[in-house]
Structure 1
Amino acid sequence: MRLLRYTIYRLVQSIPVLIGITLITFILANLAPGDPVQLMLHGQEVDEDLVRTVEERYGLDQPLHERYLNYMAGLVQGDFGHSIHRDRPVRDLMLDRIGPTLLLVLSAYVFAIVTSIPLGILAAKRRNEPADHISRIVALFGVSTPSFWIGIMLIVIFSVTLGVLPSSGLVYPWRTPADTSFFGYLAHFYDVLRHLLLPMIALGTLQMATLMRVERTQMINSLQGEYVKLARAYGVPERRVLRKHAFKPAQLPIITIIGLNLSTALGGAVLIEYVFNINGMGRLLIEAIQELDYQLIMGITIVIGFIFVIGVIITDISYAYIDPRVTYGEEE
């Protein structure tokens, strides 16, 4: 019950943040140079009556503050508005594109967590040995190299030079393959992995490097703790010392980094989707900005902001599973 109350409390706290995101995005989008109506009518014979009709249809003839209030009134009812250039509801456009983005971001996180934690533990256990030096070089490369450049290099090596992996697109795991037999699903899953591997590594390398550096530092500090020394003095096997006494206390900063880096991963997905020709939310956002499609820009920004807020809330709740001292904001 305390967990439920705390979750509701944090969701209520996030409402002003989301309102701030909508306000700032709305103002910046409308201050951008250019006229969305002129862009939409490009190549057509434009007269004042046609321009006026289009502006009235999409509410562009209203003052800025009225347009914002009307947008927020519709948003409360679940209406994200209508795309100016695609003549479709924004909600439908986002539903078409959110799947590839979530697949890309979640797979990049899985790659980062699965690789960084064992490598960080290994580096801490063998401090100042060759394995530690190699891990630090890998981490330095990961945090200092842009994701899109890593993606381009992966395409050059594995797609152009070796020809072993595809360089563009995704195969979606939620779609039913033509062959619905066991081997058909197996082949479909293999195809999904082949298309996902390069963008997953390109996007997840920064997260992996960041988590590995933090894991190494925290494990070193944890292994030097008095409780670890006491366990070793009692003859506890080293593997058990690592797993039971040193590992759990070192994971609190890791959980924080995972939650807060969600915004970095979502931002990196924009460029990775362009590099690998993936039709996701990030690519749709770039297209909306280029076309000054205000409603679409607002809808995507709100969804990305909401995903980030939910990620932070999940991070806070996860603390209780690692540190029993967490009381969900209540006094003992």
Structure 2
Amino acid sequence: MGLLRYTTYRLVQAIPVLIGVSILTFALANLTPGDPVRLMLQGQEADQETIERIEAQYGLDQPIHERYLTYMGGLVQGDMGHSFHRNASVAELITNRIGPTLLLVLSAYVFALATSIPLGIIAAKRRNDPFDHVSRIVALFGVSTPSFWIGIMLILIFAVQLGWLPSSDLVYPWWSPETYGHDGYGEHFYQVIRHLLLPMIALGTLQMATLMRVERTQMIESLQGEYVKLARAYGVPERTIMRKHAFQVAQLPIITIVGLNLSTALGGSVLIEFVFDINGLGRLFYEAIIQLDYQLIMGITMIIATMFVIGVVITDIAYAYIDPRVTYGESE
């Protein structure tokens, strides 16, 4: 089975999963106590006729199963609906907010991978040395500490006390320097990094700690393998053994964790966006839940679910590139 065919096959398999997510989300959102129309008209005087007119406008006067089928019919055609509380389509709102969230999540993953893999390898090579003990303490701290608390501590230390870094908002690299009044692209990207550094570390610490523990464990196991002992017996240099024999095998669990932890990172971005006052998708999702904006809740949920499914498919494909024993669904 070729790469394209396998990818298509896995995406088709994901369709029932996405349908299940849509049913569960739609049911939970619509069964939540509260009236979205009255929340929309909060602070305004409205008679029953006005309320009924608005309900009919958004289809809220229909049974829940009819509303679901109507929504899914529009979704298949690319229509994600219209927000109850904002004068904009759901697709437009998500497009405007998804950029900061993707920037935050991807940068957190870059930070996690760039730090966890080298630290895990060094800890495995220096097993039971002081460096190894310190790395395990750091990993334990990272997996047991909430990301929002880390974010608050980073703000207090580096923004409030030292004044080195900003404590809120992001500078978007896809906007021009003139938008922020920066003197050229050099200063612009410098400010991008300054504003991104603290939220990136706060969100990526959990991923970094998890990956570092797994990397250390897998590298220790690989270095104790018979193929490594045989390579050493033949006089293969230690650097070659680490790079070509031990390292490549140890990365398979890392790929799995990176793919499956995408949902964790997206969920953690909600709190980080509030701590650092970032107008991203997570914050929009929270506002939609508070306002019972059903269409917006559904739209964001389906986007996140789709991103997770794509991440899992990419993880499966990456397996075959790293491990030649893994094939694209071919039978023996």
TM-score (normalised: structure 2): 0.98
| Cα distance between partner residues in 1 of 2:154 and 2:183 | 29
| Cα distance between partner residues in 1 of 2:119 and 2:6 | 34
Q: Is the 8 A contact 1:252 1:319 kept in 2?
A: yes
- What do the CA deviations read for 1:174-222 (whole angstroms, capped 9, x no partner)? 0011199x96100000000000000000000000000000000000000
| Cα distance between partner residues in 2 of 1:28 and 1:277 | 28
Is 1:171 the counterpart of 2:171? The answer is yes
Is 1:26 the counterpart of 2:26? The answer is yes
Alignment of 1:49-198 (within 5 A): 49-178=49-178, 184-198=184-198
**What is the CA-CA distance between 1:87 and the residue it aligns to?**
2.3
- What do the CA deviations read for 1:286-326 (whole angstroms, capped 9, x no partner)? 00000000000000000000000000000000001111111
Match for 2:142: what amino acid?
A: G
**Could you say what secondary structure the match of 1:305 adopts?**
helix
1:231 aligned residue:
231
Greater CA deviation, 134-143 or 182-191? 182-191
- What do the CA deviations read for 1:235-260 (whole angstroms, capped 9, x no partner)? 11111111111100100000000000
Is 1:259 the counterpart of 2:264? The answer is no
| Cα distance between partner residues in 2 of 1:249 and 1:86 | 50
Q: Is the 8 A contact 1:74 1:80 kept in 2?
A: yes
Q: CA RMSD in A?
A: 1.4
- What do the CA deviations read for 1:96-155 (whole angstroms, capped 9, x no partner)? 000000000000000000000000000000000011001000000000000000000000
Match for 1:37: what amino acid?
A: V
Q: Structure 2: where are the runs of 5+ without partners?
A: none
Match for 2:3: what amino acid?
A: L
**Could you say what secondary structure the match of 1:178 adopts?**
helix
TM-score (normalised: structure 1): 0.98
| Cα distance between partner residues in 2 of 1:52 and 1:216 | 61
**Could you say what secondary structure the match of 2:111 adopts?**
helix
Match for 1:63: what amino acid?
A: P
**Could you say what secondary structure the match of 1:69 adopts?**
helix
Alignment of 1:263-278 (within 5 A): 263-278=263-278
Q: Is the 8 A contact 1:179 1:185 kept in 2?
A: no
- What do the CA deviations read for 1:62-117 (whole angstroms, capped 9, x no partner)? 00000000000000000000000002100000000000000000000000000000
Match for 1:254: what amino acid?
A: I
| Cα distance between partner residues in 1 of 2:135 and 2:221 | 17
| Cα distance between partner residues in 2 of 1:285 and 1:111 | 25
| Cα distance between partner residues in 1 of 2:295 and 2:61 | 15
**Could you say what secondary structure the match of 1:247 adopts?**
helix
2:307 aligned residue:
307
| Cα distance between partner residues in 1 of 2:128 and 2:270 | 37
2:199 aligned residue:
199
Aligned length: 332
Match for 2:42: what amino acid?
A: H
| Cα distance between partner residues in 1 of 2:206 and 2:261 | 10
2:330 aligned residue:
330
| Cα distance between partner residues in 1 of 2:183 and 2:222 | 47
| Cα distance between partner residues in 1 of 2:259 and 2:45 | 50
Q: Structure 1: where are the runs of 5+ without partners?
A: none
Q: Is the 8 A contact 1:111 1:204 kept in 2?
A: yes
Q: Percent identity?
A: 76
| Cα distance between partner residues in 1 of 2:327 and 2:136 | 36
Q: Is the 8 A contact 2:177 2:183 kept in 1?
A: no
| Cα distance between partner residues in 1 of 2:79 and 2:215 | 43
